[in-house]
């Protein structure tokens, strides 16, 4: 869980993900970035995020992504 | 292919393809509101084959083809079972870094598709503009087009850009962009002479179309538009655009303004029904 900001910085190094409440509305992640992020999270945490969970609400900010990871069985 | 009527059907079909698939591959990246619109307009149809989800979306006189596949070999098997798609003109965009799109291009090449065009994505961090080169005759001011000019805006875009590769907007999208002041123009004698169409969302801005009508080339209109665009987006941190890899003239201009390739490419392939 601690590595999430680092993973996001690897995808979009020009943004500070700790300051935004909505990565998508703030233009920090686009749809290509989302797919990259999903693949990165799957690989890093050994999970498979469901297609039905790949919706903007789950990728708004660090908190919502952490919630999604918890639902997928990732523990802090 | 069967018409799609529910968003969840799409998401679940993609999920079936992703399940336990470490080599999952896709070219399907729609944001939810866009997906809902396609479904609502009846533009999207779908079919599952060989563990893959396939989608066709109508656009003008052809179809965009999308897939979600557990891996490239399954994609090939699924494609081989979709003979009916070759009765229509079909375009597929393979988006990614070369190492990810090249194996998929080989699969499509084995299934009656051929390379059509390659786009590269350019990115620019927010930074000061290069110095303005003074001209003897300064260009007219940059303005916003009127709503009544939306049809002419679309006409110019359709005239200058390729419908198969450039994801041309609908008239409704042009109207919305005009209303949102996301189209800049230079006018001569009251007529649109040059345009720049962009989409800004938060810290990122995408330049979609930039054109100068032929009688007005080499008069500084394009630079005036680009400078106005880049200079006005003061909160944007990342500027993006897609350009044809072989369009050296446009590429040179973008590089001059600080854009550089970010590694993402769009290999566009078409089936035999498209002969252009």
Nearest CB to A15; choose among B17, B201, B237:
B237
The whole-chain average pLDDT of chain A stands at 88
**Residue A27 to residue B20, Cβ atoms within 8 A:** no
Q: Domain A4-71 maps to which CATH number in 1.20.1250.20, 1.10.1200.10, 1.10.1660.10, 3.30.428.10?
A: 1.10.1200.10
Tell me the domains of chain B and their CATH numbers. Answer: 2-120+267-271 (3.40.630.30), 127-236 (3.40.630.30)
Contacts of A33 in chain B (CB under 8 A): none
Q: What percent of chain B has pLDDT over 90?
A: 85
Residue A73 forms contact with B (CB below 8 Å): no
Phi and psi angles of residue A33, each rounded to the nearest 5 degrees, phi first: -60, -40
Q: Are B244 and B118 in contact (CB under 8 A)?
A: yes
The complex's ipTM? 0.75
Contacts of B201 in chain A (CB under 8 A): 24-27
Look up the pTM and report it: 0.90
pLDDT in tens, A14-34: 899 999 999 999 999 988 888
What is the arithmetic mean of pLDDT over A45-53? 84
Residue B120: how many other CB atoms lie within 10 Å:
18
Contacts of A24 in chain B (CB under 8 A): 31, 201
Reported as half-sphere exposure (CB side, CA atoms, 13 A), residue A55 has a value of 12
Range name among A43-52, B131-140, B238-247 with the lowest pLDDT average: B131-140
Phi and psi angles of residue B11, each rounded to the nearest 5 degrees, phi first: -65, -40
Give the position of tokens 């089936």. B271
Local confidence band at B142 (pLDDT 50, 70, 90 cut-offs) = very high
Nearest CB to A51; choose among B18, B29, B95:
B18
pLDDT in tens, B81-98: 998 899 999 999 999 999
pLDDT for the residue numbered B184: 98
């Amino acid at each position: 869980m601690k590595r999430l900001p680092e993973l996001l910085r690897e995808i979009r190094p020009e943004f500070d993900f700790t300051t935004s409440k909505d990565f998508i509305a703030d233009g920090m992640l686009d749809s290509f970035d989302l797919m990259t992020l999903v693949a990165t999270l799957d690989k890093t945490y050994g999970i498979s995020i469901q297609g039905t969970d790949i919706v903007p609400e789950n990728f708004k900010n660090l908190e919502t992504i952490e919630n999604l990871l918890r639902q997928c069985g990732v523990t802090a | 292919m069967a018409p799609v009527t529910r968003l969840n059907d799409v998401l679940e079909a993609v999920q079936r393809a992703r399940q336990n698939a470490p080599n999952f591959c896709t070219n399907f990246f729609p944001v939810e509101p866009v997906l809902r619109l396609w479904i609502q307009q009846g533009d999207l149809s779908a079919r599952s084959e060989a563990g893959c989800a396939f989608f066709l979306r109508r656009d003008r006189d052809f179809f965009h083809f999308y897939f979600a596949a557990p891996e490239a070999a399954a994609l090939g098997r699924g494609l081989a079972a979709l003979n009916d798609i070759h009765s229509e003109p079909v375009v597929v965009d393979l988006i990614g870094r070369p190492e990810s799109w090249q194996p998929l291009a080989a699969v499509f090449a084995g299934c009656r598709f051929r390379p059509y065009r390659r786009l590269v994505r350019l990115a620019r961090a927010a930074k000061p503009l290069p110095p303005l080169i003074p001209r003897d005759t300064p260009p007219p001011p940059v303005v916003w087009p009127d709503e009544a000019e939306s049809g002419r805006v679309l006409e110019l875009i359709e005239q200058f850009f390729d419908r198969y590769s450039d994801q041309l907007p609908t008239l409704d999208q042009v109207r919305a962009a005009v209303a949102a002041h996301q189209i800049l123009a230079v006018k001569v004698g009251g007529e649109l002479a040059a345009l720049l169409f962009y989409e800004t969302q938060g810290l990122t801005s995408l330049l979609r179309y930039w054109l100068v009508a032929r009688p007005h080339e080499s008069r500084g209109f394009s630079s005036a538009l680009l400078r106005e665009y880049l200079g006005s987006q003061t909160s944007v941190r990342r500027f993006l655009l897609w350009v044809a890899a072989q369009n050296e003239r446009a590429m040179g201009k973008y590089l001059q303004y600080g854009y550089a390739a970010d590694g993402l490419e769009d290999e566009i392939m078409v089936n035999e029904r498209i002969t252009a």
